[in-house]
Structure 1
Amino acid sequence: MRKFQRAAAGALLSILFINVQAADAPPVRIGVITSLSGVAAQSGEQMKAGIDTWLRMHGDGAGGRKLQVIYKDDTGAQPEVAKRLAGELIGREQVDVLAGFVFTPNAVAAAGVADRARKPLVIMNAAASAITARSPYVTRTSYTIAQSVQPLAEWAYKTGSRRVFSIVADYVPGQEAHTWFSSSFTAKGGVIVDSVKVPLSTVDFSAYLQRIKDARPDAIHVFLPNGQPMVSFMKSYKEKGLDKAGIRFLGGEGWADEDVLNAAGASMQGIYTAGFYTFSRQGADNAAFTAAFAKTVGQRFKPNFQAVAAYDGMALIAAALQRTKGDAGGEAFMAALKGYRADSPRGTVSIDDKTRDIVQTIYIRRIDKQADGHYAATEIDRYDAVRDPAKPLD
């Protein structure tokens, strides 16, 4: 009896000791570098709202430790600023994990800092394929350009397009979009009749659209920065009568975002886009997410793909900490991502064990006017378990 009492007392003391350890453990500090001011402030706001929505829905703890998020503003595509902020977050703020990054150059700059410090870095937007190859401590919960463009090209050919004109913004994501759409489309037997790379600052697309109309393709492939450039392009597309000329529109992620749909209005009717998320997708997971998101932002705006990628970034961080029992060290954290798989507002996602990039469904969506008078995207086809095609399978 005494032996049993001593064993029970010992077990109780062990439990109390573990609980005291958990209570005394410092918080896991997550340094988020995003654009909270400047031309990309709306993207940063979406990212922050996605993170805050995850905390609203799931609480601020994981692996027996409290989660503390620290936001830093990179003010836009400023790699030197991002590099400096990453250094300050690791050195001065003592963060355990870096996350965020709207822009590819900023993510690349911070990846070098994370690599030297052996800190995990979770990309929540930047979409150039090469970023995750910069360091074994980098993973991504957004997408790559190639990942969304290749299915779009294959779908375009499958549904009848044979002659496509490609127009993209002249920066790395636009160049990757052109490369992957063109190579994927021509591999199927299609023809790129012409292509043009427009300056990133372009706001008047009328001359380009007249050139496209004169070339008489059966479709155009378009990749532009999110927001106003998309709105300006769609209004010119409508004004130049490309829709009436039977030239169908093929775009990537971002064209189904609420701000673009509302601003471009009727010019969005009948266009096709490819991507991993839109606020109007069906399903219980997205219904719960959008309801919580509305509370987070006071119903000021709906979530876009950047918000759900940030939400999933927090889910990944929490899952890794659960597996490591709160160990946020670089090696332990990255090892914990092996076999990661989760349900998301976008559908089922996983992390590629070799590349540390997200594997996900890419949806083909058509935009139409809804019964309430607003425009929204409806999923009409899907490509499941899509990995980044820019990286070899071996």
Structure 2
Amino acid sequence: MHRISLALTGALLSFTLSAARAEAPTVRIGVITSLSGVAAQSGEQMKAGIDTWLHMHGASVAGKKLQVIYKDDTGPQADVAKRLATELISRDNADILAGFVFTPNAMAAASVADRAKRPMVVMNAAASSITGRSPYIVRTSYTIAQSVKPLAEWAYKTGSRRVFSIVADYAPGQDAHTWFSSTFTALGGTIIESVKVPLSTIDFSAYLQRIKDSKPDAIHVFLPNGQPMVSFMKAYREKGLDKAGIRFLGGEGWADDDVLSAAGEAMLGIYSAGFYSFSRPGADNAAFLEAFSKTVNGRFKPNFQAASAYDGMALIAATLVKTKGSAEGDAFMKAVKGYSAASPRGTVTIDSKTHDIVQTIYIRRIDKLAGGKYGATEIDRYDAVSDPSK
């Protein structure tokens, strides 16, 4: 009995070791995003974009398994993001860091990625300076300047001359105001007044009355995603700015389904600039929409954050193919250079010098689509737009 037991133990051990040797090695991707708190919806979009890519393309690349480890930063918490990045690398053995809804969080994690020489894929945070924090950072979302500069150019091209700028008083809002104003005035337009509102503002009625009294021909608006946008649009209609002929110019986010559904008819006819909306045409987006719907059981439609996260996974996979499965920092970043691929948003490439994305920025008008829902119609486009700040 003892000999049989030893024989069985030896056989089981041999089988286990053989199985372990046969099992594909793993590339661990540590995703830091907001799964709770004020930006939980953004985190949910990001996670759904990543999960959609995995459902469409599988969880193995170049002979390696892809393991995604999600960490919740709970919102704009730089110290939390830095701690999570450290834990992912030192405790969870993450080969790649990814995610980042907020700029401060990405900035904080950048020092960790740089020290560890691990690739870091930014899937949302939009301050231009992020990619300059480390040679190991690449971004698949956008920068504020990248979308706002074409918006200002289009506004001037189509007749706007006197614009009132209102933005939320935080770094992205300040970037939006700077780039819109500098571009618009360089072309010959005038910013008749600018206002920075507290980030927590949801009652815009007094500001909108002030705008109406100033009689601009357009307003440029940059606000956080979600409820602030909805509140602003309802007040915009209630104060009659649309009837006064003051057209609306916004950046990314205004074509998102949650904003359109909540604000309803108040969104009709506004203009925005950005790289993705769920209603954009094309076979790549149609396939993405179908797979995304299955991923989230039809609960919501993808927004620009989901598209960026999906493309972030596509970039990771394509780069691992080039490196034959290696996620070593220098090899990975060398392979990132020259990345170009089809995407739900159109063709995207990575600038080999800045590691920022180069993409089409679309000018969209919100219309009532088939079935009575509201969505974005692309009416103009600016191709191969890189970050103008670099």
Give TM-score, length-normalised by structure 2. Answer: 0.94
**Deviation at 1:61?**
1.0
Task: Look up the equivalent residue of 1:276 and give its one-letter code.
Answer: F
Aligned to 2:207: 208
Aligned to 1:172: 171
Aligned to 1:234: 233
**Deviation at 1:371?**
3.0
Aligned to 1:193: 192
Secondary structure of the structure 1 residue equivalent to 2:219? strand
Task: Look up the equivalent residue of 1:315 and give its one-letter code.
Answer: A
Unaligned runs of 5+ in 2: 1-18
- Equivalenced residues, count: 372
**Deviation at 1:64?**
1.4
1:126-275 matched pairs, under 5 angstroms: 126-275=125-274
Secondary structure of the structure 2 residue equivalent to 1:385? strand
1:344-355 matched pairs, under 5 angstroms: 344-355=343-354
- CA contact under 8 A between 2:49 and 2:308: conserved in structure 1? yes
Aligned to 2:31: 32
Aligned to 1:371: 370
Task: Look up the equivalent residue of 2:362 and give its one-letter code.
Answer: Y
Aligned to 2:40: 41
**Deviation at 1:107?**
0.2
Task: Look up the equivalent residue of 2:368 and give its one-letter code.
Answer: K
- CA contact under 8 A between 1:123 and 1:141: conserved in structure 2? yes
**Deviation at 1:24?**
4.5
For residues 289 and 23 of structure 1, what CA distance do their matches in structure 2 show? 33
Give structure 1 regions of 4+ aligned residues with deviation exceeding 3 angstroms: 20-25
**Deviation at 1:312?**
0.1
- CA contact under 8 A between 2:121 and 2:312: conserved in structure 1? yes
- CA contact under 8 A between 1:206 and 1:236: conserved in structure 2? yes
Aligned to 2:355: 356
For residues 368 and 205 of structure 1, what CA distance do their matches in structure 2 show? 24
For residues 201 and 287 of structure 1, what CA distance do their matches in structure 2 show? 36
Unaligned runs of 5+ in 1: 1-19
* Alignment deviations for residues 44-70 of structure 1 (CA, whole Å, 9 cap, x no partner): 000000000000000011121010000
Task: Look up the equivalent residue of 1:205 and give its one-letter code.
Answer: F
- CA contact under 8 A between 2:25 and 2:63: conserved in structure 1? no
* Alignment deviations for residues 132-167 of structure 1 (CA, whole Å, 9 cap, x no partner): 000000000000000000000000000000000000
For residues 369 and 360 of structure 2, what CA distance do their matches in structure 1 show? 24
For residues 62 and 237 of structure 1, what CA distance do their matches in structure 2 show? 49
Note the aligned Cα RMSD (angstroms): 1.1
For residues 219 and 126 of structure 1, what CA distance do their matches in structure 2 show? 27
* Alignment deviations for residues 334-367 of structure 1 (CA, whole Å, 9 cap, x no partner): 0001111000000000000000000000000000
Identity within the alignment, %:
79
Task: Look up the equivalent residue of 1:272 and give its one-letter code.
Answer: Y
**Deviation at 1:21?**
11
- For the pair 1:323 / 2:322, whether they are aligned, the reply is yes
Aligned to 1:5: none
For residues 115 and 259 of structure 1, what CA distance do their matches in structure 2 show? 36
**Deviation at 1:26?**
2.2
For residues 110 and 384 of structure 2, what CA distance do their matches in structure 1 show? 26
* Alignment deviations for residues 307-355 of structure 1 (CA, whole Å, 9 cap, x no partner): 0000000000001100000010000000001111000000000000000
Question: Cα distance 1:67–1:379, how it changes in 2: closer, same or farther (>3 A)?
Answer: same
For residues 84 and 324 of structure 2, what CA distance do their matches in structure 1 show? 28
Aligned to 1:388: 387
**Deviation at 1:372?**
1.2
